Structure 1
Amino acid sequence: MTETSGFLEREDGERLAWKAVAGQGPTVVWLGGFMSDMAGTKAQALADWAMAKDRAFVRFDYLGHGESSGAFRDGTISRWREDSLAVIDQLTDGPLILVGSSMGGWISCLVGAVRAERLAGMVLIAPAADFTEKLMAPGFPPEAHAALAATGEWIRPSLYDEGGYPITRGLLEDGARWSILPGPVPIEVPVRILQGAEDPDVPWAHALALAQAIKGEDVVFTLIKDGDHRLSRPQDIARLIGAVEELAG
């Protein structure tokens, strides 16, 4: 099997980059994290698995991420949710397994709730539900609040980007409108959650709260004692692929 690629044209002229493997079974859809992209270790591992096992798989970049067009500062949870729905509706058919990492775990829940008739299962990695309101904003320093009040934007320092990255008032206000905790979260398919106990970005108790909020009974929460936020080590990738294979059948 080979992977194809292309761009999905949005109504406003922006273009979403995607890659897909045409295979069997439910289509596995990768939903990446905040400031992440479809070239990451976990997404690539799933693409390799799909090609080796003849499985249907789609990965893509949100607006302002990776190979897609648009400015990152223009992104919101609403927009990235719409991007995800556009990819699912235009590039896939039949049952879906949503695999969401960090912010992608939150977006998976938002998408799954409105495509329930197609949803077959979900695998969530360090799911950052409501992260803008509950995980990000509480840690802002005074200068962040001052900048957001004055200009609507704060450049947040980053270990991964020397210039930092913009956090906008629009992102925060929009995120609050999509809050799903404390629930109930209207997902009733099998869900597998992989969470590192040493995750500095998403505390394990926060991810567990999402597991408890999901309406379905077939929810398995796996706490990886020495795991970090990325969960990209070989043993973590093996757990991820095992969870996807279990749900894909």
Structure 2
Amino acid sequence: MTEFLDTPQGRRLAYHKTDGQGPCVVFCGGLKSDMEGTKAVYLEDWARRTGRAFLRFDYSGHGESAGAFTDGCIGDWHEDTVAAISAQTEEPVVVVGSSMGGWQALLLARAVPDRIAGMVTIAAAPDFTEDGYWAEFTDEQKTQLEEVGHVELPSDYMEPYVITRRMIEDGRQRLVLRTPLELRFPVRMLQGTADTAVSLATAVRLLEHADGPDMRLTLVKDADHRFSDETCLGLMEAAVEEVIARAGV
């Protein structure tokens, strides 16, 4: 059953918590995704089978949480992530971040490094508001963003994304690939070669930029951005189990 928590910023977030052994595995979803996605539900089933603690939640403006998507930005969703983990976990966490959730996982590691026992990313999209959206905007789109306050971008997976000026401007305050990024815990990164939303170059850039003692990037031939078929889900599960074992907590 969905439960709700109120964040220090006054936002109301929906979540599902599965009690079990620690560390608690926390799933951070992608942009405009929600906690009912295939990967989140699969991991919850895995947690129940194996007796692991697990948390999935919706950012504000996503899924069952309150608010409008167009009112949010990377910083708001980072605050939501910190609030959910602070309210619902006491033990160390293994954070699993998909797409934009990968950026959120990295921001979490900067904000509360002592809480993180390990990390798994799936098509992580750090800094995408700057290196993806802004870098690829035409002059016309940049003018529209300034004058109208938003632009609409087509999506391969759902209705068009409405990208607001606030999202772009806030994203510039949250970039993780421009300054040192220390990940002092086991990290496993998964990336499909047929992903049209996040490039292989982004995955390699993150691997090369981050500094940590135990980091690996796995490329999956022909896997797309969803990374949700049986093979990919099995690889995600194996990565989570490996990180937990390597973390030793």
TM-score, structure 2 length as denominator? 0.94
Deviation at 1:93, TM superposition (A): 1.0
Aligned to 2:190: 194
Q: Which one of 18, 31, 34 corresponds to residue 31 of structure 2?
A: 34
Deviation at 1:212, TM superposition (A): 1.5
Query: For 1:129-176, what per-residue CA distance to the aligned partner results, in whole angstroms no more than 9, with x for missing partners?
Result: 1000001222234542232121111122334444x2311011001101
> Which AA in structure 2 matches 1:204?
L
Query: For 1:46-100, what per-residue CA distance to the aligned partner results, in whole angstroms no more than 9, with x for missing partners?
Result: 0000011110000000010011010101111110000000001010011110000
Q: Which one of 169, 175, 180 corresponds to residue 184 of structure 1?
A: 180
Aligned to 2:232: 236
Of 130-139 and 91-100, deviating more is 130-139
Aligned partners of 2:179, 2:187: CA distance in 1, in Å? 15
Aligned to 1:129: 126
Q: Which one of 15, 21, 24 corresponds to residue 21 of structure 2?
A: 24
Aligned partners of 1:53, 1:159: CA distance in 2, in Å? 35
Structure 2 gap segments, 5+ residues each:
none
Aligned partners of 2:28, 2:204: CA distance in 1, in Å? 20
Matched, 1:215 2:214: no
SS of 1:202 mapped into structure 2: coil
Aligned to 1:15: 12
- Contact persistence 1:183–1:214 (CA under 8 A): no
Aligned partners of 2:156, 2:201: CA distance in 1, in Å? 24
1:133-212 to 2 correspondences below 5 Å:
133-162=130-159, 164-212=160-208
Call closer, same or farther: CA 1:182–1:208 in 2, change over 3 Å: farther
Aligned to 2:51: 54
- Contact persistence 2:8–2:83 (CA under 8 A): no
Aligned to 2:73: 76
Aligned partners of 1:121, 1:158: CA distance in 2, in Å? 31
Deviation at 1:248, TM superposition (A): 1.7
Aligned partners of 1:125, 1:158: CA distance in 2, in Å? 18
% same residue: 46
- Contact persistence 1:195–1:204 (CA under 8 A): yes
TM-score, structure 1 length as denominator? 0.94
Q: CA RMSD in A?
A: 1.4
Aligned partners of 2:240, 2:178: CA distance in 1, in Å? 26
Aligned partners of 2:225, 2:155: CA distance in 1, in Å? 15
Kindly tell me the number of residue pairs found equivalent between the two proteins: 245
Query: For 1:202-245, what per-residue CA distance to the aligned partner results, in whole angstroms no more than 9, with x for missing partners?
Result: 11111111112221120010011211111111000000000101
